Structure 1
Amino acid sequence: MTVKSVDKDLDALTLTFVAEFSATAEQVWELWADPRKLEQWWGPPTYPATVVDHDLTPGGEVTYFMTGPEGDKHHAWWRLTAVDAPKSLEFVDGFADADGKPVDTMPTNSTTMTLTEYDGGTRMELRSVFDTAEAMELLTNMGMEEGLTLCIGQMDALLAG
């Protein structure tokens, strides 16, 4: 499996994934930068993603929905706060309604994705920071840790082509 470690730090309100790939940073970056490639791994296998909007520039948005096995749709968004291609990406991540509007009653988290050269390949760190312990507990209880582990686990096959 691609994911090498998952660190859930309740004191720091962070959930951090570290994954390693036998690919260049540019190749891993392309899985984020190309909306059709993002669709192939961002949702867990039983909840594939469909990207609606994809603007990876500071201030830009990515909107998408994941479709469950029963046809149920779960909408979400990212608001990009920083982009340094092909090294890093920062965004606020939240839930949306069926029209793509943010759901204010659900928590958001700030996520930083960093790519670095490592042992002939690339190491990706994906760190989510939560506003409160309650927000972190709610999102992890909804399956965020398991879901992201499954998502990231799909990246190797795409990189292999």
Structure 2
Amino acid sequence: MKNLAMDFSVDKENNKIHVKREFAAYVNNVWDAWTKAELLDQWWAPKPYIAKTRSMDFSEGGTWFYAMIGPQGEEHRCRADYQTISPQQSFTGLDAFCDEHWNTNTDFPRTKWDVAFHQDGEYTVVEVVMTYEKLSDLEMIIQMGFKEGFTMALGNLDELLAQHDLK
């Protein structure tokens, strides 16, 4: 088995983070893992955190409400508002941290996500571009440990795909 590639770069000039990651699975299975709550809950949060979906409407204009729950039971509530969806090819949306009532917490920046999927033989390549309104927003997310947390979560997705033989 080949070593799965991951590229992570920060473009401070354009307030963007670029992530490109290979998965040893077919695109339909990787797509499902990104778009179905029962699968997202199994990999989205970096360990020892877990993700728990409150509700999910994966459609244009729909929203995914979820919490990342820490080892002591603390909840970090979040939302993703889906904008565009091209099945098994790409989706875009805005994510945000939420308060205890699931309202957007304006103390933190929102991230625009552009996520694209394409098949490369027996592998799927996922390319993610995250865009921020201003450089200070990008820097805040990086300082909060986004690179480390997202890298761990993508590793969890590798495990999920392998465990369920979703190739």
TM-score over 0.5 for the pair: yes
Relative to the length of structure 1, the TM-score reads 0.95
Equivalence for 2:153: 151
Mapped to 1, the partners of 2:157 and 2:31 lie a distance apart of 11
Cα deviation, residue 2, structure 1:
4.7
Equivalent position to 1:16, from 9, 15, 18: 18
1:119 positional shift: 3.6
Kindly state the Cα deviation for residue 17 of structure 1 after the two structures are TM-superposed.
1.2
Bigger Cα displacement from structure 2, 78-87 vs 117-126: 117-126
Q: CA deviation at 1:39?
A: 0.5
Distance in 2 of aligned mates of 1:3 and 1:31 = 19
Q: Which consecutive unaligned segments of at least 5 residues does structure 2 have?
A: none
The residue number in structure 1 matching 2:142 is 140
TM-score of the superposition, structure 2-length normalised?
0.92
Once the two structures are aligned, what percentage of the paired residues are identical? Answer: 25
Please name the residue that 2:122 is paired with.
120
Select the residue among 72, 76, 79 that pairs with 2:78. 76
CA RMSD for the aligned pairs?
1.2
What's the secondary structure of 1:16's corresponding residue? strand
Tell me, what secondary structure is at the counterpart of 1:157? helix
Question: Structure 1: how far apart are the matches of 2:32 and 2:150?
Answer: 18
Rounded to whole Å, the distance in 1 between the matches of 2:115 and 2:155 is 16
Q: How many residues align?
A: 161
Give the whole-Å Cα distance in 2 for the aligned partners of 1:100 and 1:2: 36
Map of 1:26 onto structure 2: 28
Q: Which stretches in structure 1 are left out of the alignment for 5+ residues?
A: none
1:33 deviates by 2.1
